[in-house]
Structure 1
Amino acid sequence: MALTCKQTRSHINPKFVKPPGKTSQSSDRSSTPPRPMSPSRRRWFKGVAALLSVVFGMGILELCLRMAGVGYPTTFFVKTRHEGEDYWMENPGFLYRFMPKAQARSPRPVMVPVAKKDHTIRIFVLGESAAMGDPEPAFGMPEILRVLLESRYPQTRFEVVNTALTAINSHLIHHIAAECVQKEADFLVLYMGNNEVTGPMGPGTVFGDTRSDSWMLQLGLQLKKYHLGQAMDALREKLSRNLGGESPKGWGGIAMFEGRHVPMDDPRLIRVHASFEHHLETILNSAQKQGVPIVMSSLACNLKDSAPFASSSLNHLEESRRQSWQDAYDQGIALLEASLAADALGAFQTAESIDANHADLQFSLGTSLLALGETAEAQPYFKHARDLDFLRFRPSDELNDIIKRSFDENQSQGVYFFDLEKSMEAMSEGGLPGDVFFWDHVHFKFQGNYLLARGFAEQIAAGLDESGRLSSLNASEADWLGAETCASKLGLTRWGQYQMVEAMLNRLNQFPFSRQSNRPVLNTKMLKELEFLKLDVTPEVLKSMMDIYARAIEGAPHNWMVLDQYARFLKDSGEPMQAVDHWKKILEIVPHHVMARFELGRLLSRDPEKVAEAETYLREAIDLRPYIPEIHMELGLCLGRQNKAEEALSAFSRAVEIQPNAIQAHINWASALRLLGRNQEAIERLEQALTISTNSVAAHLKMARFQTPGKNWEKVIFHLQEVLRLDPDHKEATDALSKVQTLLLQESN
């Protein structure tokens, strides 16, 4: 033991050994017990530890949710792989972060190679529904732009990627632009500004909070970038429904905005203009940082042929003055309809002397002056009518001023400008663009789309020239293609024109278009156009249309939109199996195409031998886009044909959940209930349908059929009479009513 101690001491460094009787100052300090941590510091450390624990826990939970596939991507583009190559495709849930899922529209299907090929110019189009090409993007500005550029530079491939989207505005577009400039973009094309008031975060929106500067809104948007935030939002929605809250209604188009009035002196418009300018500057900065030229345009709208949607009330006037105003206005309308424009003008001016701030009055004054040939005097009235419109779906002069000012400040930095407003005014009588260029308030006919595309094409050519790339592209010596040639190359036929006119006529007879003061006149014009397009559809005309489709497909075999138009034409021409072949070809080009699957399911489900295949297509479509009620309805019908009544009920129920006012879903749901023998529930479902619309022939007819035989004759007769009120030539209702009346007569005898 002593030896061990001695050996141990010999290994001790002498400088660490204290001499006997001495104690160092440092040793005194080390022997002093540590001073206890102050309560405030202890609380601070505990708070930091707790915060780090929460952050760590949330990170783990976020990772688990991602691995479990809960939530959705929030970028506009997502990567996919097709035939061994990586592509950027659109994210169908891009808008879920900004609005209820049932109301969110999905972007157009796109497939953009991640690695841009040689001799390719890549152009991204940004904007709202007008830029997208509504009502038929196959013939919209982006497609015309591609045809113009490819014909001008035949040895170059132009990828024109349509990222424009219905119901969005600059609050969302700047996010899309930030992604586009990272995707080997050669140009951005921007036509933006129609939805600044009514789109997300605008004062007239239906998509949640109307204050873009609300910290709660901005916090919610930031949280929903993460899967944890998305799960919390989904839980909130579910709890709200379970507690009796109303589910968000499905997409209802422009009719959703009823009552969302924003007068021209609303102070919130100052914030609208400021945010638009900020987002435009953000887009320009994003493009300039990446060295991407940007081409933008002023905004144009229908001044001459789109009457205001909502005018101010006259409640601020005394009753006698209000009545005098109304009498003068009504007299002016009657005189204008009688083609007595001078007298009508006098009546309208009388009303104006009482109260001039009425949008429809200003529009009527302009119309009267135009009828008298006073075009220069008419223009200010039409513009003032636009500005006084309480439903602000048309762009204001302030937005155009911001666009032009931005161009002036940035034109030396790769920014190009086309003045569409000025060009349209120069080509329109009295400087008043109307239904030559527009279907409605802002959506272009082919002529309007062509004018915008041509302006953009010329600016892109100028940009290529300035960059020195023009000479390497071997430009054609020929002039730009005309509108008719572009239409033919895109496969626009008489049938396609008819489809667009018919679709727009249906749309324009719904709110708020149905309340426009000049709607009857415009409807008459459109009905005449439909009749003209239906005339003389001879075998020769059909063959010429087939030839147009064949040439368009041959010229652009990978353009799925031409294939889609041709498939629809074949279906309407009684060639369903040929249509099926072309929709299947679309899936070879765009594997995630939802509506091709929908059309395949709808057609194949009519064939008893292919109904199972149809179900597969429809279920795949729902997996890709869960919030389209029409697909759920079609799946329900498909399941019904396979005698899967319970599953059909679930499909119809889901359609109604997404869009509560989808009357056909209620009717189909009732039919499925009747198949299961649940007749009273079926009748109750039809009653629900008739609360949505009392003018549904199908609902009244089924109500008559579903009544118990020998009972409720009064209800049977009532509903059959309603069918005949709505459709006097309805044969089934006529025969059924006759039989019921005969039976009742026999019973009474």
Structure 2
Amino acid sequence: MSALETEESLRDPPVRKRPWGIGAGVFLLLALSPFVAVGIFEGILRMAGYGHSVRFFVEKEFGGQIYHVTNPAFYQQFMAMPVGKIMNLDDLGFRVPATKAAGAYRIFIFGESAALGCTPDAAYGLAPMLEVILGDRFSAMRFEVYNASCPALNSHVMRLAAEACADLEPDLFIVYMGNNEYSGPFGPAWGSDRGASPAAIRAWMAFGGLRTVQWLRNMLWRPWLPRAQEAGEYLKALRRCRPDSLPCQAMRDRFRENLDAIREAGVKAGATVLLCSVGSNLRDWRPFASMHPPGWDKTKSERWDALFRKGRARQETGAYDQAIEAYRQAAALDDSYAELQYWMGVCCLRLGMRDKAMKHFRMARDYDCLPMRTDSEQNRIVAATAARGPSDRVQFVDLEAILPEHGEFGIAGNDLFWDFVHFTFSGTYAAAAALSDRIAAVLPEPARAQAVSALIDQSECERRMAFTPPVRLRHVQELLPAFRFWGVDEAYVSGLLRQASELEKQVGANGADIEEEGYRQALSLNGNGYYVLSRYARLLLEKGDAAGAAEMARKILENDPVRPAARKILVDAMEKAGQQTEALRERRILQELFPDEES
């Protein structure tokens, strides 16, 4: 064997290299397999008809016209409890023609139940009140007022709604919100100490339309969302936090971010944006929860408790000055206990010290450890966001300051609010009147030149909106269970019972006739407003006048042909009138337009 052959035989045998693409392909397959599996599962769910679109708007076509219709599933995705358990679903959302009529002025309202008017009834909320006031003041203009607000939801949800509405040629955004930042979706009431991160919130919302995500939400616990299935569970489920806690600080940061996004969406769409501070019942509503600071000293606690009990005892006997002195001594130990501030406010008001009373009432609200009223810091955020401008497009409307001007003692109480945040008719009128002045200032010049200088007064609004004694009585009767649920003082409930008793005497046995006459008068003054027509139609159905109810439903459908509530009324009326063929035809139209609607 030669030396060359020997050297070659000692060398390692050649290694057969695998093509690099095979290893990369295996890695890529492993990496993508979860996504492929999810995609397959997503396809199976969609083919099976599982889930639904959760976009804010869905498109509907009727009579050759396209409409953007609010999607109930959009709102429902943010709640465990069915939305229909907390409000009349017929009053939720709106329908916008895809083609904007010449000369139309589109107004969109964003907020929560307070902005909607539910409780007690959206028929007497901000949107219909503005329609009446603006329609009278600027009769030559056509106003389209759409209310995107929904009970139990908050700025996280309204941000998405505003971004969707920005595509529909808005002229004006009105924002009145803040009450549900704590207890609404992603609020501190439901999450960890730091709550959901902004990235997690954005992801939750961005992927909500995937059927796989909807399946997971239905099968698993939904973090950060209201979890009560029944209203009675709701208050018990809410956790308590001091306003200076990390969760509340994070809540305010996210409120600021969402509010600024709504402002930006309106400005980019060419709309004027009115950002409103939010009012609340200070005078007649106690804080929901009070807490001492963390690490509260036991010795101080015993002394504080004794002084607080002493103050309450003196207050009960009418010795308000002595009560205030005991409360002041307690406040020297801890002034952040919300209920202490509230009772100090009550005593100051009894002694005629209005300004001091207002100060203590505000502190009671701001120290509430179950903050379901917009506090001073949130209202400062609203003002600061408005100040970012641009000044010719964004304005701050300080409704928190304006509303007390219409209240007894110059402090907002149960004359302006039914409960802690929901307007009475007087409160709604005061808010709408203030807003109408701001709206008047931003309307096109020709409209301003033709304006009626004086606002119609509250009594005229009551006539045009059919707010009659029987309606007022029904509101009181429907609200009483809610007040007991919130743990309202018996004295407050007793006041409502007295109202109910007085209204019952006023109405007597002719309530239905009085209410019907109110609707007739309203229609003669105010045209064909949906709420008057729909309430009138339901009353006529109750009275057995099916033909009259059908007539009212048809009037609604003339202006709003894709409103399911009106078509359901029409179906009911036709069935009661024995017009089965016609009822079946209308039912089919309803089912074609809204397959998920119960008819």
Contact 1:197 1:203 in 2 (8 A): yes
The Cα offsets for residues 385-429 of structure 1, whole Å up to 9 and x where unpaired, read as: 112211110112111111111222204251122111121244445
Of the candidates 468, 490, 493, which is equivalent to residue 520 of structure 1?
Answer: 490
Matched, 1:198 2:169: no
Contact 1:76 1:176 in 2 (8 A): yes
Distance 1:527 1:603, change over 3 A: farther
| Matching residue of 1:506 | 481
* Counterpart secondary structure, 1:126: strand
Contact 2:553 2:569 in 1 (8 A): no
- Whole-Å separation in 2 of the counterparts to 1:594 and 1:316: 55
Distance 1:255 1:578, change over 3 A: farther
- Whole-Å separation in 1 of the counterparts to 2:318 and 2:540: 45
Matched, 1:171 2:156: yes
| Matching residue of 1:261 | 240
Of the candidates 548, 557, 576, which is equivalent to residue 518 of structure 2?
Answer: 548
Contact 2:538 2:549 in 1 (8 A): no
Distance 1:576 1:334, change over 3 A: farther
| Matching residue of 2:9 | none
Matched, 1:487 2:462: yes
Of the candidates 6, 22, 27, which is equivalent to residue 47 of structure 1?
Answer: 27
| Matching residue of 2:260 | 281
Equivalent positions of 1:331-350 (< 5 A) are 331-350=310-329
Shift of 1:584: 5.0
- Whole-Å separation in 1 of the counterparts to 2:76 and 2:407: 40
Shift of 1:318: 6.9
Contact 1:209 1:217 in 2 (8 A): no
Distance 1:323 1:432, change over 3 A: same
Equivalent positions of 1:656-695 (< 5 A) are none
| Matching residue of 1:437 | 416
Shift of 1:65: 4.5
- Whole-Å separation in 2 of the counterparts to 1:356 and 1:399: 21
Contact 2:180 2:372 in 1 (8 A): yes
Shift of 1:171: 1.0
Matched, 1:98 2:69: no
Of the candidates 415, 419, 423, which is equivalent to residue 394 of structure 2?
Answer: 415
Shift of 1:590: 5.7
| Stretch moving more, 541-550 or 452-461 | 541-550
| Matching residue of 1:151 | 136
| Matching residue of 2:446 | 471
- Whole-Å separation in 2 of the counterparts to 1:508 and 1:624: 33
Q: Which amino acid aligns with 1:73?
A: S
| Matching residue of 1:87 | 67
Equivalent positions of 1:335-734 (< 5 A) are 335-428=314-407, 431-464=410-443, 469-471=444-446, 475-510=450-485, 513-514=486-487, 516=488, 519-537=489-507, 545-556=515-526, 558-570=528-540, 574-575=543-544, 577=546, 581=550, 585=554, 588=557, 589=560, 591=562, 593=564, 597=568, 624=596
| Stretch moving more, 48-57 or 448-457 | 48-57
Shift of 1:458: 1.8
Shift of 1:367: 0.4
Contact 2:533 2:553 in 1 (8 A): no
Shift of 1:130: 0.7
Contact 2:408 2:415 in 1 (8 A): no
The Cα offsets for residues 594-633 of structure 1, whole Å up to 9 and x where unpaired, read as: 598499879989x9x99x99xx99x97997368xxxx9xx
Contact 2:42 2:210 in 1 (8 A): yes
Contact 2:228 2:237 in 1 (8 A): no
Contact 1:304 1:382 in 2 (8 A): yes
Matched, 1:112 2:96: yes
Matched, 1:291 2:291: no
- Whole-Å separation in 2 of the counterparts to 1:508 and 1:582: 37
Contact 1:297 1:419 in 2 (8 A): yes
- Whole-Å separation in 2 of the counterparts to 1:599 and 1:248: 36
Q: Which amino acid aligns with 2:69?
A: M
Matched, 1:77 2:49: no
Distance 1:345 1:291, change over 3 A: same
- Whole-Å separation in 2 of the counterparts to 1:47 and 1:97: 37
* Counterpart secondary structure, 1:311: coil
Compute the TM-score of the two structures, normalised by the length of structure 1: 0.67
Distance 1:477 1:362, change over 3 A: closer
Distance 1:295 1:314, change over 3 A: closer
Greater length-normalized contact order (CA 8 Å, ≥ 6 residues apart) = 2
- Whole-Å separation in 1 of the counterparts to 2:442 and 2:236: 40
Distance 1:326 1:49, change over 3 A: closer
The Cα offsets for residues 467-496 of structure 1, whole Å up to 9 and x where unpaired, read as: xx2315762334122222122111211111
Contact 2:519 2:532 in 1 (8 A): yes
Distance 1:99 1:364, change over 3 A: same
Q: Which amino acid aligns with 2:457?
A: G
Shift of 1:335: 3.7
- Whole-Å separation in 2 of the counterparts to 1:118 and 1:427: 37
The Cα offsets for residues 233-260 of structure 1, whole Å up to 9 and x where unpaired, read as: 44x34xx89xxxxx96424178445441
Residue-pair matches, total: 569
- Whole-Å separation in 2 of the counterparts to 1:523 and 1:301: 18
| Matching residue of 2:11 | none
Unaligned runs of 5+ in 2: 1-13
Contact 2:292 2:334 in 1 (8 A): no
Q: Which amino acid aligns with 1:392?
A: P
Identical aligned residues as a percent: 26
- Whole-Å separation in 2 of the counterparts to 1:431 and 1:214: 40
| Matching residue of 2:7 | none
- Whole-Å separation in 1 of the counterparts to 2:386 and 2:76: 32
Contact 2:166 2:266 in 1 (8 A): yes
Q: Which amino acid aligns with 1:115?
A: T
| Matching residue of 1:723 | none
| Stretch moving more, 58-67 or 119-128 | 58-67
Of the candidates 105, 111, 117, which is equivalent to residue 133 of structure 1?
Answer: 117
Q: Which amino acid aligns with 1:225?
A: G
Shift of 1:359: 1.5
Distance 1:166 1:325, change over 3 A: same
Matched, 1:226 2:207: no
* Counterpart secondary structure, 1:190: strand
The Cα offsets for residues 509-561 of structure 1, whole Å up to 9 and x where unpaired, read as: 11xx31x5xx2222222122112212233688865543321132345554331
Larger radius of gyration: 1
The Cα offsets for residues 254-273 of structure 1, whole Å up to 9 and x where unpaired, read as: 84454410112211222112
Shift of 1:384: 1.5
Distance 1:52 1:265, change over 3 A: closer
- Whole-Å separation in 2 of the counterparts to 1:395 and 1:383: 11
* Counterpart secondary structure, 2:387: helix
Contact 1:119 1:156 in 2 (8 A): yes
- Whole-Å separation in 2 of the counterparts to 1:259 and 1:231: 26
Contact 1:564 1:586 in 2 (8 A): no
Unaligned runs of 5+ in 1: 1-32, 242-246, 632-749
The Cα offsets for residues 272-329 of structure 1, whole Å up to 9 and x where unpaired, read as: 1211111111112212222122112111111111111112269966777655544543
Distance 1:385 1:175, change over 3 A: same
| Matching residue of 1:653 | none
* Counterpart secondary structure, 1:410: coil
